[in-house]
């Protein structure tokens, strides 16, 4: 496995060359419009998706759980229930739509990759572990993770009891995942939770996009009660 590290990128776009092609990851911003399938017509959503990545897309009916959907044909499973998408196909765009939850892409050395919708409930349900197992099912041991825009401790006030439950469930030190909001109250540090869970698997995390709550480039349900959602998408190109 890789040595666990945490890095910050200046933009929410990445690429990893694998043995079967290059996996690209990209996040949308407010400028790309609303990707909430509960608000946007199917036609308009498809237009926006194709403008971002011109490939057949799969997005899920996300439920803050840990169920994984395997995409075996480009575009298959669009609208299925789950919080993890996984494929080894080239030409298939996998997207998660978020408004504060952490969007995470996990890419293996052989070219299998997953997109993960990881809110605190999903994290405690083991969504990252499920995604890592799904990507590693092809024998990949060298996995890399990419963390897109999500709410950070500066904007995510969290009750002490709930913080303790998150730490206990995940087996993480309470102090390590406890932060402070910009107004001085106790917070959950979601990016650190993601990094620590993946670190146990030896997986490094490259982070970009900043906080959805106090940044102006993305939507936030928690801070601004935005009904809109941005998206993070991954796809593979053949060598």
CA geometry: angle at 191 spanning 187 and 192, to 5°? 80
Q: The tokens 């405690």 sit on which residue? A: 124
Label residue 11 exposed, middle or buried (CB < 10 Å: 0-12, 13-18, 19+).
exposed
DSSP strand pairing (143-147 vs 204-207): parallel
CB atoms within 10 A of CB 167: 19
Per-residue pLDDT in tens (0 to 9) along the chain, 239 residues: 443 445 554 457 999 999 999 999 999 999 999 999 999 999 999 999 999 999 999 999 999 999 999 999 999 999 999 999 999 999 999 999 999 999 999 999 999 999 999 999 999 999 999 999 999 999 999 999 999 999 999 999 999 999 999 999 999 999 999 999 999 999 999 999 999 999 999 999 999 989 999 988 999 999 999 999 999 999 999 98
Question: For domain 10-149+205-237, is the CATH number 3.40.640.10?
Answer: no
Report the predicted TM-score, pTM, of the whole model to 2 decimal places.
0.94
CB atoms within 10 A of CB 33: 18
């Amino acid at each position: 496995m890789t040595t666990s590290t945490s890095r910050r990128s200046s933009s929410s776009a990445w690429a990893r060359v694998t043995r079967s092609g290059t996996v690209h990851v990209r996040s949308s911003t407010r400028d790309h419009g609303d990707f909430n399938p509960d608000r946007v017509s199917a036609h308009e959503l498809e237009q926006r998706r194709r403008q971002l990545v011109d490939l057949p897309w799969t997005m899920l009916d996300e439920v803050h759980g840990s169920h994984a959907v395997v995409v075996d044909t480009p575009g298959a499973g669009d609208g299925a229930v789950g919080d993890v998408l996984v494929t080894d196909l080239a030409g298939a765009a996998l997207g998660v739509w978020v408004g504060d939850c952490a969007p995470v892409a996990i890419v293996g050395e052989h070219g299998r990759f997953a997109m993960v919708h990881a809110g605190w409930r999903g994290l405690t349900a083991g969504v990252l572990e499920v995604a890592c197992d799904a990507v590693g099912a092809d024998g990949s041991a060298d996995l890399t993770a990419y963390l897109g825009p999500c709410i950070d401790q500066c904007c995510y006030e969290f009750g002490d009891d709930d913080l303790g439950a998150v730490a206990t469930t995940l087996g993480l030190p309470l102090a390590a995942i406890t932060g402070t909001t910009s107004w001085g109250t106790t917070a959950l540090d979601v990016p650190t939770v993601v990094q620590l869970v993946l670190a146990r698997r030896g997986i490094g995390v490259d982070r970009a996009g900043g906080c959805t709550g106090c940044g102006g480039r993305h939507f936030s349900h928690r801070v601004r009660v935005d009904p809109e959602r941005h998206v993070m998408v991954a796809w593979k190109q053949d060598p």
